[in-house]
Amino acid sequence: MNDKSAFSWEQAKQVAEKVLFENFQEYLKDVEMQVLQGAWQGFTYEKMGEIYHLSVNYLRGDIGPKLWQKLSIALGEDVNKSNFKGAMERAWAKQQTRLSNPNTTVKLPTVSSVTDLSFPEGSVSLNSPFYLERDFVEELCYQTVIKPGSLIRIKAPKLMGKTSLLTRIIAYSQSHNYQTVYLNLSSVERSILTNLDKFLRWLCLMVSRQLKIENQLNNYWDTDILGSNDNCTVYFEEYLLTTINCPLVLGLDEVERIFTYIDVVEDFFGMLRSWHEKGKISPIWKQLRLVMAHSTECYIPLDMNQSPFNAGVPIELKEFEQKQVKKLADLYALNWHESQVEKLMKMVGGHPYLGQLAMYQVKANNINLEQLLQQASTESGIYNNHLRRQLEILKKNSELAEAFKRVVNSSEPVELESIQIYKLHSIGLVQRLDNMVIPRCNLYREYFRRVL
């Protein structure tokens, strides 16, 4: 029997488990194991979907590409459904050589050898290996967005990954041949947000453009009889949803932008809630799936039956745990011990952006971690620009600045007014402990204790 025929499925599975754990500190998920074994047996994604009772688009558009990308990183070569056997057999041969000759070390390639290191800013791109999935979060979102009339609410402070998750939900929807629209409400001009009719016409026009559908607002907008909400609803029901005749995923990012616009907020959110309720009974509205991302609760009182914030599936993004921070460090090929991960987390907690910025600087500029942390809260530290932006926000609200000053100067949790807690949490400066707060991390405590 030749060497090629001697390489078995069990050996291939061992290789996959080993290299994925060494590079990502994780083992194959059940569905990844099914895809890998199905590919080993030469099955198409259609056949796998039939055998495992899973969506073909889910396997082809999500699980499969992610699995081959992780194996490409772990094995140091381009891996796909067609060629993975050869790549894994070569990795198996290297492992056997290392076992038979303990003095020989085979260095598995790191992520930095197969990707360009880019400065961490904004959302994490779809093809970036530096995006870390949270336990069950992405899977729950993917399962929800394909359900008729669904609503997903993503809530987290700024720089916690809301936009990155939202773009992945949209990409997953596109893999199911859904139409998708992404709107960032932070880009809407103030003059539009102060007028409900203007804002809803803006919404309809932007959706039309992204769907590449001709603007027909003047033919559907009846200002003599219908109100703005009704006109917007009619435009979606009789024109947009009817024209595309397929599921539409509408992603609304930075929704908190409109919380302070009293003339818009109540009617707009009431309309979104009514659309969600229509999706439970109306075939045309079942096509619409709403995904909203916001950094804090809506502190404008809304009727509980007219608010989208107590409906749908809530997704709250938490900080990374230590194992996830270690995994991110490994992706940067830093070879950190647990003690180094703990030092970083002692300063910035499990904050995704702050942690990744530190790892980037250590890797890209060959900075010593201890020195970086010593200077972290100073004007010469790597967080200088981020800290100054946070300070500018506080300077615009003296009461909020005074409230946060109490927090950073106290060794115990501090009780604040609800509105102050909401605002400080949305900025990302505090953690909530029941009805009290503490600084989100020591970086903020040290810096703002000094400058406030």
- The DSSP secondary structure of 201-239, one letter per residue, reads HHHHHHHHHHTT----HHHH--TTTS-HHHHHHHIIIII
What is the pTM for the complete model shown?
Answer: 0.73
> Which letter does DSSP use for residue 61 in this model?
I
Mean of pLDDT over the chain: 87
Per-residue pLDDT band at 30 (split at 50, 70, 90): confident
Please name which of 368, 45, 306, 318 lies closest in space to residue 162, comparing C-alpha atoms: 318
Beta-ladder partners of 181? 250
Backbone angles phi, psi at 430, to 5 degrees: -135, 160
Identify the band that residue 3 occupies on the pLDDT scale cut at 50, 70 and 90. Answer: very low
Distance CA 80, CA 36 (A): 11
Domains annotated for the chain, with CATH where assigned, are 3-113 (no CATH), 137-316 (3.40.50.300), 319-374 (no CATH), 381-452 (1.10.10)
Identity of the highest mean pLDDT range in 21-30, 104-113, 268-277: 268-277
Is the separation of the CB atoms in 66 and 11 below 8 Å?
A: no
In this model, does residue 111 exceed pLDDT 50?
no
Whether the per-residue pLDDT at 184 is higher than 90: the answer is yes
Instruction: Name the band, by pLDDT with cuts 50, 70 and 90, for residue 244.
Output: very high
Confidence grade of residue 218 (pLDDT, cut at 50, 70, 90): very high
372 three-class SS:
helix
Query: 16 — alpha (psi -120 to 50), left (phi > 0) or beta?
Result: alpha
DSSP-assigned letter for residue 135? T
Quick: pLDDT tens for 52-86.
Answer: 788 888 888 888 888 888 888 778 778 888 888 88
Which residues are CB-contacts of 83 (< 8 A; sequence separation ≥ 6)?
none
Strands 414-415 and 151-155: unpaired
How far apart, in whole angstroms, are the C-alpha atoms of residue 193 and residue 276?
22
- Lowest mean pLDDT of 90-104, 284-298, 397-411, name the range: 90-104
> Which residue type, as a one-letter code, is found at position 352?
P
Residue 224's pLDDT is 87
What's residue 5's pLDDT? 46
- pLDDT at 114 > cutoff 50: no
Which residue has 């039309």 as its token pair? 208
H or E, element range at 3: helix 3-6
Give the pLDDT score at 281.
Answer: 95
Return the pLDDT at 109. 37
At residue 113, does pLDDT exceed 70? no
pLDDT of amino acid 298: 61
